[in-house]
């Protein structure tokens, strides 16, 4: 990887996913501490996915037409950090809604543009993507373990300060990463919406949205679910970390998987294991052994799924469409699917209970698997 800005890209992924590791597993506990209802928690925790529906299109459009993708990341990162400072002004639902919406609107530019930059640096060697992305998993593990114990020792009110520190770290790295030099696009390259309408693209986006929706109860209520079963916040952090440790293993192993299996086979297997995982979490949380097994399956439900899906997107959206292709994939799959999953999980938690809520998540994963089985070409590599 001597031609890559490897350490700078890895450093950004580290801090970005450390921010996710501090926010996604534990901010629901902060919201519960300030007396938000389950429905309000579901709404607020779904805002990152909601803003990913439209905002990345704006940032991707600007990046593909401007001289620098990284300039967009830097400017939006500064704006997102400034917006997040508003979280210290109060704990009312309306205030937190505005603050989190604005913060995530600006930060939604970062990941798809960094993904496009990373893949442009890699060129045709996308199998090496996992060796860079793995540092994001390391950052996530560090955050969930440290923050989990921190919340056992200190008041939950310390959490926003930790989240802000992670934002400062990834913003600092944004200024160190160079833009990738992309080859000029072919003159006869079709319009981007001709690519989006392809059955393979539609199938991937719909299935990925279902996978994101399936993770709604996991990212919103998993920590609350474990604490309600008597597990400490420290152990909860380690369970989050176990999932990401397994994710690291799959990222490191991805080049071997790429050589042995098609992307279609990797994706279908990931969805099948997601069905099993969410049923285990929903109905087996009383058993630590069941939870341990379920967390190892994060290697499939996020790790192999994400790496394979990114590989398909990179092959389908070429040339000048790369940044917008990543934005479209992220917004329509994780944005729409994640927002719906987050919103629905709040109502399901209140009115149906954890078991049924996680069973519905498993049903979403099953539907996504069937769509890919039906529409994704067997030779998609």
| Full pLDDT tens readout for the chain, 381 residues | 446 677 888 899 999 999 999 998 889 889 999 989 888 998 998 888 888 787 877 887 787 776 777 888 899 999 999 999 999 999 899 999 999 999 999 998 888 788 878 877 776 666 677 778 889 888 988 998 899 889 889 898 999 999 999 999 999 988 888 877 655 555 556 677 777 778 888 889 999 999 999 999 998 899 999 999 999 988 998 998 899 889 888 878 887 888 888 888 999 999 999 999 999 999 999 999 999 999 999 999 988 998 888 878 877 776 666 667 777 787 788 878 888 898 899 899 989 999 999 999 999 999 999 999 998 776 544
- Rounded distance between C-alpha atoms, residue 319 and residue 116, angstroms: 11
Dihedral-angle region of residue 219 (phi above 0 means left; psi in -120 to 50 means alpha; beta otherwise): alpha
pLDDT at position 124: 62
pLDDT at position 126: 60
CATH number 1.20.1250.20 is the correct assignment for the domain at 6-180+192-375: yes
Q: Where are the alpha helices (DSSP H) in the chain?
A: 6-23, 27-33, 38-65, 69-84, 93-107, 110-122, 129-153, 159-174, 192-196, 199-214, 216-228, 233-260, 263-284, 288-296, 298, 305-316, 322-329, 336-351, 354-375
Q: Where are the domains of the chain?
A: 6-180+192-375
pLDDT at position 292: 97
pLDDT at position 185: 53
Q: What's this model's pTM, rounded to 2 decimal places?
A: 0.72
pLDDT at position 2: 43
Residue 232 near residue 288 (C-beta atoms within 8 A): no
Among 302, 269, 254, 13, residue whose Cα is nearest residue 126: 254
Residue 267 near residue 207 (C-beta atoms within 8 A): yes
pLDDT at position 13: 93
pLDDT at position 70: 85
Among 306, 313, 331, 317, residue whose Cα is nearest residue 64: 317
pLDDT at position 368: 96
pLDDT at position 380: 45
């Amino acid at each position: 990887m001597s031609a890559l800005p490897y350490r700078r890209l890895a450093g950004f992924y580290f801090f970005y996913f450390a921010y996710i590791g501090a926010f996604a597993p534990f901010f629901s506990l902060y919201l519960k501490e300030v007396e938000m209802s389950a429905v309000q928690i579901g709404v607020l925790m779904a805002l990152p996915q909601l803003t990913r529906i439209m905002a990345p299109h704006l940032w991707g459009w600007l990046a593909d037409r401007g001289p620098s993708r990284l300039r967009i990341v830097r400017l939006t990162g500064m704006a997102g950090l400034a917006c997040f400072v508003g979280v210290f002004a109060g704990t009312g639902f309306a205030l937190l809604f505005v603050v989190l919406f604005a913060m995530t609107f600006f930060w939604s530019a970062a990941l798809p543009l960094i993904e496009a930059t990373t893949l442009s640096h890699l060129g045709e060697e996308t199998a090496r993507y996992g060796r860079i992305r793995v540092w994001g998993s390391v950052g996530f593990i560090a955050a969930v373990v440290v923050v989990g114990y921190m919340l056992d020792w200190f008041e939950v009110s310390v959490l926003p300060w930790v989240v802000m520190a992670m934002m400062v770290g990834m913003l600092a790295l944004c200024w160190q990463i160079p833009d990738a030099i992309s080859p000029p696009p072919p003159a006869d390259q079709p319009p981007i919406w001709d690519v989006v309408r392809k059955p393979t693209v539609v199938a991937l986006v719909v299935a990925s949205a279902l996978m994101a929706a399936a993770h709604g109860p996991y990212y919103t209520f998993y920590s609350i679910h474990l604490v309600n079963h008597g597990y400490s916040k420290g152990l909860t952090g380690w369970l989050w970390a176990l999932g990401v440790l397994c994710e690291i293993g799959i990222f490191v192993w991805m080049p071997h998987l790429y050589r042995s299996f098609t992307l279609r086979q990797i994706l279908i297997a990931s969805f099948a294991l997601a069905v099993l995982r969410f049923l285990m979490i929903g109905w087996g949380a009383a058993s630590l052994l069941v939870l341990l097994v379920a967390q190892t399956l994060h290697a499939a439900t996020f790790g192999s799924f994400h790496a394979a899906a990114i590989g398909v997107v990179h092959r389908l959206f070429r040339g000048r469409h790369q940044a917008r292709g990543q934005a479209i994939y992220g917004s329509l799959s994780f944005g729409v699917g994640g927002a719906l999953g987050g919103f629905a999980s709040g109502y399901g938690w209140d009115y149906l209970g954890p078991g049924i809520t996680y069973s519905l998540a498993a049903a979403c994963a099953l539907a996504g698997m069937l769509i890919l089985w039906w529409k994704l070409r067997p030779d998609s590599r």
